[in-house]
Amino acid sequence: MSPCGALSRRIRWRPRPRERDARRVSAAVCKAASPRPPLTRPRVCWRIFLFLFVFGMVAYFQARSIPIASVQMMPQLGLSQVQIGWLETALIIGYTALQFPGGVLGQRLGARAMFVVIGLIAFGATVATPLLPLVLTGTALFGALLLAQLLLGAAQGPIFPVSAGVFAAWFVPEKWALVQGVQSMGLQLGAALAAPLIALLMTAFDWQRALLWTSVPVLAAILWWAYYARNTPAEHPAVSERELSELGTGAQGLAAERLTWRRLAALLSNRDLLVLTVSYVCMNYVFYLLANWCFVYLVQERHFNHIEGGWLAGTPPLAAAVGAGVGGHLAGRLALRFGVRRGLRLVPLLSLPAAALLQFLTVHAANAYLAVAALAACYFCVEMNEGPYWAAGMHIGRSDAMAATGILNTGGNLGGIIATPIVAYLSSQHAWGSVFTLGVAAALVSAVAWLVVDPERLPAHPRVRSAPSG
**191 and 340 together in one domain:** no
**309 and 171 together in one domain:** no
pLDDT confidence band for 298 (50 / 70 / 90): confident
**Residue at 40 is within a domain:** no
**316 and 383 together in one domain:** yes
pLDDT at 60: 84
**Residue at 41 is within a domain:** no
**Residue at 39 is within a domain:** no
Identify which of 401, 374, 375, 377 has the alpha carbon closest to the alpha carbon of residue 389: 401
**Residue at 379 is within a domain:** yes
pLDDT greater than 80 at residue 106: yes
Q: pLDDT for 111-125, tens place per residue? A: 999 999 999 999 999
pLDDT confidence band for 470 (50 / 70 / 90): very low
Question: Which residues have CB under 8 Å from 267's CB, separation 6+?
Answer: 273, 397, 400, 403, 404, 407
Window from 1-15, 201-215, 311-325, 354-368 with minimum mean pLDDT = 1-15
**184 and 281 together in one domain:** no
**Residue at 402 is within a domain:** yes
Integer Cα distance of 238 and 254 in angstroms: 19
Determine what percent of the chain falls in helix, strand and coil, rounding each to the nearest 5: 80, 0, 20
pLDDT at 427: 81
DSSP state of 461: S
Of the three residues 258, 277, 300, the one that is the final residue of a domain is: 258
**391 and 304 together in one domain:** yes
Q: pLDDT for 257-284, tens place per residue? A: 566 778 888 888 899 999 999 999 999 9
Percent of all residues in the chain with a pLDDT value above 70, rounded to a whole number: 85
Integer Cα distance of 188 and 318 in angstroms: 7
Integer Cα distance of 251 and 444 in angstroms: 38
pLDDT at 251: 52
**67 and 203 together in one domain:** yes
pLDDT at 12: 42
**167 and 180 together in one domain:** yes
**265 and 251 together in one domain:** no
Summarize the confidence of residues 38-54 as an average pLDDT. Answer: 79
Of the three residues 228, 258, 288, the one that is the final residue of a domain is: 258
Which of the residue ranges 17-21, 380-384, 424-428 has the most confident prediction, judged by mean pLDDT? 380-384
Of the three residues 258, 276, 310, the one that is the final residue of a domain is: 258
The domain of 23 spans: 3-33
pLDDT at 425: 83
424 vs 276 pLDDT, higher one: 276
DSSP state of 467: P
Q: pLDDT for 144-177, tens place per residue? A: 999 999 999 999 999 999 998 899 889 988 888 8
Count of structural domains, the chain: 3
pLDDT greater than 50 at residue 296: yes
pLDDT greater than 80 at residue 45: yes
**64 and 16 together in one domain:** no
pLDDT confidence band for 40 (50 / 70 / 90): very low
pLDDT greater than 90 at residue 39: no
**Residue at 38 is within a domain:** no
Identify whether the C-beta of residue 176 lies closer than 8 Å to the C-beta of residue 391: yes
pLDDT greater than 50 at residue 104: yes
Mean per-residue pLDDT over the chain, rounded: 83
**Residue at 136 is within a domain:** yes
Q: Residue 345's domain is classified under what CATH number?
A: 1.20.1250.20
pLDDT greater than 80 at residue 184: yes
Window from 9-23, 228-242, 264-278, 401-415 with minimum mean pLDDT = 9-23
Identify whether the C-beta of residue 182 lies closer than 8 Å to the C-beta of residue 331: no
**172 and 127 together in one domain:** yes
Percent of all residues in the chain with a pLDDT value above 90, rounded to a whole number: 38
Summarize the confidence of residues 349-357 as an average pLDDT. Answer: 96
pLDDT greater than 90 at residue 383: yes
Residue 153, Cβ neighbours under 10 Å: how many?
26
**253 and 133 together in one domain:** yes
pLDDT at 30: 44
Question: Which residues have CB under 8 Å from 91's CB, separation 6+?
Answer: 63, 66, 149, 150, 152, 153, 156
pLDDT at 283: 95
pTM for this entry: 0.76
**173 and 216 together in one domain:** yes
pLDDT confidence band for 64 (50 / 70 / 90): confident
